Amino acid sequence: MFELFIPGRTGRSFLATTPNRWDWALLPLVLALLALAAYGAMQMTRPFVLGQPTPIVLDPAWLPYYLLRTILRMFSALGCALLFTFVFAVAATRWRAAEKVLVPLLDVLQSVPILGFQAIAIAPFIALFPGNMLGVECAAVFAIFTSQAWNMAFSLYQSMKTIPPELAEAARVFRLSAWQRFWRLELPYAMPALLWNMMMSMSGGWFFLVAAEAISVAGQDIKLPGIGAWIAVAIEQRSGAAIAWAIGAMFAGILLYDQLFFRPLLAWADKFRFEESQGEHAQRSWLLDWGRRSVWIRAFSERMWALLGRTLGWFAAPADTVAAAPSRPRFSPSPRAVDALLLLLALLGAWRFIVFIHAQVGWGETLRVLGLGCITLVRVMLLIGLASLVWVPLAVWIGLRPVYAQRVQALAQFLAAFPVNLMFPIVVYALVHFHLNPNVWLSPLMVFGTQWYILFNVVAGASTLPTELRLAADNLGLTGWLKWKRVYLPAVFPSFVTGAITASGGSWNASIVAEYVTWGKTSLVADGLGSYIKQMTDAGDFHRIALGIGVMCVFVMLLNRFFWRRLYLLAEDRSR
């Protein structure tokens, strides 16, 4: 179904070809998907007035409709996240000045809670589409986007920064323009890791789905038809049966788009592995096999690749371009000027933050919040370390065995998508019944939904390990810890750093729901920055909410700058 473009190859119109049995097998599936997408899009643009009730019916017969609306929102957000990823990664790797701004900015964005983004975005979206449901839908899509984009952007950025030197030299020898280099080298090289992060992003969207589909604005509660709103109503009514139905619908949806979307893409992306020979067990997809046997889809894909090839040709580098001495941009800013500007902006932001503290909350409260931030910092680092010890060896084992990767793929997506608030009844009951300390036993909830970033990224890194390198290690007699130290760990180290940094940022975000757990009239509170923000949010103290989010951003920026960033540089050096 998907083939590399061959210059000079032209495809006939797929409607002019004679269909075979595979075309007739795929035709109902394609028509059904198009019809469902069109129906869901029409439902998203219905008239809507703020204050109009949006009831959610806890009847299993409505679950397929709610699942359709949720999946459409998540794929809309995924498309926006993919465009953001392309722009961010290209800008951050092409221009040093942009990198100095964008990477710290991404650190801040991934530390801002999803509720903060939603509070900022919902009013403008409703005003942009007055009297229409599309405004609220766009706000929900934006909220899901903020839970999907950051790890994808980090993944593509890391892959483009660690391209092997021989591939970069080949691109210079063939005089590829920046546009051609991205589409012919950088994106294909990054494709396996990017696809695994796209799967993790979809799971991250499920994780924060309740907050995205159950919206509060201007004293009004808006619940969009979807699985997240169903879960919110089920928790309000304390309906265990409804929650069980929601879990079943989630698993069905994840299995569906895994088979129809991600598995064909992973099998197709296997051709981009950086090795001369294919692995022993390549990824397989029944849908991709059907598409490759289909006459219509082969003709359609040939025309698409031919169009892409002509487009890349329009942006080809000039014939007289000298590969060894690329020209410097005409208006390239001085590195010292950029550093001075960034320092000035940082000082200005710090001064404004100090003025806000002095005028609104006081220094005593600030010191208390900093202490709570240190407690959450210890939790985050300890949990990321423990998760790494568990998931890195397991992820390497899975990544080196594509057959097992296919078997656990849907299950891993389901576990990563499982909303942590569905565990609140069990957690509250266990802590109250056994008289456990919330400061200790609420902590695992922080990493429950974010540890999967490590698993997915390391699986992606291990799956791209060249077969020749593994065979060379076997021929040299490397076994046990020596093999891990010399081959496996260095190979997956860049992917691990990407997974760990996104897991760390996600854990800070998840602390808001993990350190303050409520089920019915019972509340369990752990000391930490997340519980502080949650309590101030419930109290409506906006000054202290801003203080808590500001301190969280400072902690995340400092941690990324002085710890994760150094690991990134080390990964870049080892890839050269």
Alpha-carbon dihedral 284, 290, 295, 298, rounded to 10 degrees: -30
pLDDT band at 9 (very low <50, low <70, confident <90, very high): very low
CA angle 551/552/556 to nearest 5° reads 120
Residue range 366-384: mean pLDDT, rounded:
90
Q: Note whether 492 and 575 are within 8 A (CB).
A: no
Asked if 372 and 532 touch (Cβ cutoff 8 Å), the reply is yes
Distance of CA 206 to the CA centre of its chain: 11
Q: Read off the pLDDT of residues 389-424 as tens digits, 9 standing for 90 and up.
A: 999 999 888 888 877 777 776 777 777 777 666 676
d(CA 287, CA 257): 12
Question: Do 144 and 84 touch, CB atoms closer than 8 A?
Answer: no
Q: Let me know the angle formed at the C-alpha of 325 by 320 and 329, rounded to the nearest 5 degrees.
A: 90
CB atoms within 10 A of CB 237: 11
Summarised one tens digit per residue, pLDDT across range 136-182 is: 888 889 888 988 888 899 889 988 888 888 888 888 888 888 888 88
Render 29-67 in DSSP notation, one character per residue.
HHHHHHHHHHHHHHHHT-B--TT--------GGGHHHHH
Confidence of residue 8 (pLDDT cuts 50, 70, 90): very low
Whole-number Å distance between alpha carbons of 419 and 247 = 9
Q: How many CB atoms lie within 10 A of CB 167?
A: 13
Quick one: pLDDT at residue 323?
44
d(CA 179, CA 308): 12
**CA–CA separation, 298 and 102 (whole Å):** 40
CA 16 to chain centre: 40
Residues 376, 373: Cα–Cα separation, whole Å: 5
Residue 280 is classified by DSSP as: S
State the distance between the two ends of the chain, measured CA to CA, in whole angstroms. 34
In whole angstroms, give the CA distance from residue 179 to residue 85.
Answer: 15
- C-alpha 308/C-alpha 311 separation (Å) is 5
Alpha-carbon gap, residue 121 to 158, rounded angstroms? 29
- Residue pair 102/91 in contact by the 8 Å Cβ criterion: yes
User: What is the pTM (predicted TM-score) of this model?
Assistant: 0.77
pLDDT of residue 39 exceeding 50, the answer is: yes
Please tell me the distance from the alpha carbon of residue 230 to that of residue 236, in angstroms, as a whole number: 10
> Three-state DSSP class for 130?
coil
Are 129 and 186 a contacting pair, CB within 8 Å? no
- As a whole number of angstroms, the distance between CA 72 and CA 435 comes to 43
Exposure of 201 in the CB half-sphere (CA atoms within 13 A): 32
Contact by Cβ (8 Å): 197, 460: yes
pLDDT of residue 375: 92
3-state secondary structure 401-450: CHHHHHHHHHHHHHHHHCCHHHHHHHHHHHHHHHCCCHHHHCCHHHHHCC
Per the listing, tokens 């049995």 go with 21
Task: Convert 352-363 to b/e letters by CB count within 10 Å (16 or more is b).
Answer: ebeeebeeebee
pLDDT in tens, 436-452: 888 888 888 887 777 88
In this predicted model, which residue has the larger pLDDT, 373 or 402?
Answer: 373
Q: Which residues lie across from 217 on neighbouring strands?
A: 220
Confidence of residue 316 (pLDDT cuts 50, 70, 90): low
| Residue 223, H or E segment | strand 220-223
Whether the predicted pLDDT of 129 surpasses 50: yes
Which residue has 């926006």 as its token pair? 80
Percentage of the chain modeled with pLDDT above 90: 9
Res. 283: pLDDT tops 80: no
Q: How many CB atoms lie within 10 A of CB 46?
A: 10
**What's the mean pLDDT in 294-318?**
72
pLDDT of residue 49: 74
Give the mean model confidence (pLDDT) for residues 474-480: 81
- Per DSSP, what are the bridge partners of residue 38? none
Rounded Cα distance between 572 and 99, Å, is: 15
Cβ atoms < 10 Å from Cβ of 472: 12
Residue 306 · residue 10 · CB < 8 Å: yes
* Band (491; pLDDT cuts 50, 70, 90): confident
How confident is the model over 492-534, as pLDDT tens digits? 888 898 888 888 877 887 787 788 877 667 778 888 888 888 8
Could you tell me which residue, 412 or 482, shows the higher pLDDT? Answer: 482
* pLDDT bucket at 74, cuts 50 / 70 / 90: very high
Query: Which is it for the CA torsion 482, 485, 491, 492, positive or negative?
Result: positive
Residue 576 burial (CB < 10 Å; 0-12/13-18/19+)? exposed
Query: Going by C-beta distance under 8 Å and a sequence separation of 6 or more, which residues neighbour residue 429?
Result: none
Specify the pLDDT at position 216. Answer: 64
Cβ-contact 158, 568 below 8 angstroms: yes
